[in-house]
Amino acid sequence: MAKVPIEAAQAGMKLSKEVSDGSGQVLARSGIEISEKHLRVFRSWGVTHIEIDGDDSASPEDKWLSEVDPAIKSQADEFTKARFILTNLEHPPMQRLFSIASLRKLKELVGRKV
């Protein structure tokens, strides 16, 4: 079982845990093979991560993220929080935008192509 960011999820992966929206409504049951349609639905409902079967599912992006210094990750998050100060980060679409912006800033800080 591996937790995968929705940006790294691919059609054909098998869910190891059901996927729910912010209010708890089940969007997909565990054990199904996800399709592009599932991924679109997950994104539209603000799902940021899914749990899939298998341990070798980490993308190169995930591996890179695990190797980045936590202090730099924190710096990117703090910079992004300052930009999102007037938003409700409890709202799933805002969480997704924050995640994208923070990752973009992190890549900028470490000099990785955005």
Model confidence pLDDT, tens digit, residues 53-71: 875 545 667 777 888 899 9
pLDDT for 6: 86
pLDDT for 26: 93
Q: In the 8-state DSSP scheme, what is residue 64? A: H
pLDDT for 114: 54
Three-class DSSP labels, 25-44: CEEECCCCECCHHHHHHHHH
- Tally of CA atoms within 13 A in the half-sphere of 50 that contains its CB: 35
10-24 b/e (C-beta count within 10 Å ≥ 16 → b)? eeebebeeebeeeee
pLDDT for 14: 92
User: Which residue ranges in the chain fall short of pLDDT 50?
Assistant: 57
> For the whole model, what pTM was predicted?
0.52
pLDDT for 113: 66
